[in-house]
Amino acid sequence: MSKLQYKPNKNSKAGVTLLQDIHEGNSDLTYVSFKLIQMDSGATYSEILKDKEVCIVALTGNASVRTGDQWFKDLGTRESVFEKKPTDSVYISNDSEFEISADRACKLALCYAPSTEKKPAQVIRAADNSVEHRGKYQNKRMVHNILPDNVDISNSLLVVEVYTEGGNFSSYPPHKHDRDHLPEESFLEETYYHEIDPEQGFVFQRVYTDDRSLDETMSVEHGDVVSVPKGYHPVGVPDGYTSYYLNVMAGPKKIWKFHNDPDHEWILARK
């Protein structure tokens, strides 16, 4: 299996299952860390943030989040990500502590990036997510913008949800953002948390650089995470299945400026 691909774990304690835990110690990532937790109803989970900020995304079920004397309650809008409607999230800055309480069984994504400037904690309700439809032909996807680069909530974090129907490619034509060379391109690491409907399906993801020093093609299954430290990173979805992924991006500057693979950019000019 590729070193960029992470299978879900089943490490459970006191009603909390840590399904994914990707960080600088077990990946080639420096800016992005990612956890996925599944909580039984009534379970609690807590952390102390030091030099990182976090965006807590209520993927399914319902939860409440406390940080300091603030409570953000009744988070979550869906029982499956494939209801295809936006959900609630909470942003918490560095040098903070937080506690999550599961109001009902829930699954939560914890998205981290380095942070030194203290910002106010705040809820990002489903209604705050902008929804975009991108692409044409067999390159169509729907995007829920949770923390886009034009929203001044976080220091480094960018977080989006993407839906791609069967027979389409996403993150396509292949693009990259691995050079700190603005205004042409920004440096952003990225993780993809994948879900697939129906669950027995798979998608293909390739991560490659121009010189092919990195060139990995993965068969990605439900619950897997793919890390993208650099390079182009398209996703292909077989017929009959729907792809969902949660993207987390972060780098030295909170700007998403990508560069298309010149070998494939011609498809954008089709009529």
pLDDT grade for 171, boundaries at 50, 70 and 90: very high
Who has greater pLDDT, 34 or 10? 34
Query: Based on the structure, what is the number of domains in the chain?
Result: 1
pLDDT grade for 1, boundaries at 50, 70 and 90: confident
What number is the average pLDDT over the span 210-220?
97
In a domain, 209, yes or no: yes
pLDDT grade for 61, boundaries at 50, 70 and 90: very high
In a domain, 1, yes or no: no
d(CA 54, CA 66): 13
Give the containing element (helix H, strand E) for 153. Answer: none
Question: Is the pLDDT at 10 greater than 90, yes or no?
Answer: no
What number is the average pLDDT over the span 161-189?
96
In a domain, 202, yes or no: yes
What is the pLDDT, as a whole number, of residue 114?
97
What is the pLDDT, as a whole number, of residue 55?
98
Residue for token digits 């069967």?
A: 166
What number is the average pLDDT over the span 158-169?
97
In a domain, 211, yes or no: yes
Structural domain harbouring 201: 7-269
Torsional sign, CA 114, 115, 116, 121? negative
What is the pLDDT, as a whole number, of residue 216?
97
What is the pLDDT, as a whole number, of residue 270?
81
CATH code for position 189 = 2.60.120.10
What number is the average pLDDT over the span 11-37?
95
In a domain, 35, yes or no: yes
In a domain, 2, yes or no: no
pTM (predicted TM-score): 0.96
- pLDDT tens digit sequence for 228-265: 999 999 999 999 999 999 999 999 999 999 999 999 99
- pLDDT tens digit sequence for 74-120: 999 999 999 999 999 999 999 999 999 999 999 999 999 999 899 99
Name 130's bridge partners: 145
Please check whether residue 19 is in contact with residue 239, taking contact to mean a CB–CB distance below 8 angstroms. no
- Residues 6 or more apart from 74 whose CB is under 8 A from it? 62, 64, 103
What is the pLDDT, as a whole number, of residue 130?
95
Please check whether residue 67 is in contact with residue 121, taking contact to mean a CB–CB distance below 8 angstroms. yes
What number is the average pLDDT over the span 149-173?
96
What is the pLDDT, as a whole number, of residue 17?
97
In a domain, 65, yes or no: yes
In a domain, 239, yes or no: yes
What is the pLDDT, as a whole number, of residue 147?
97
**Average model confidence (pLDDT) for the chain?**
96
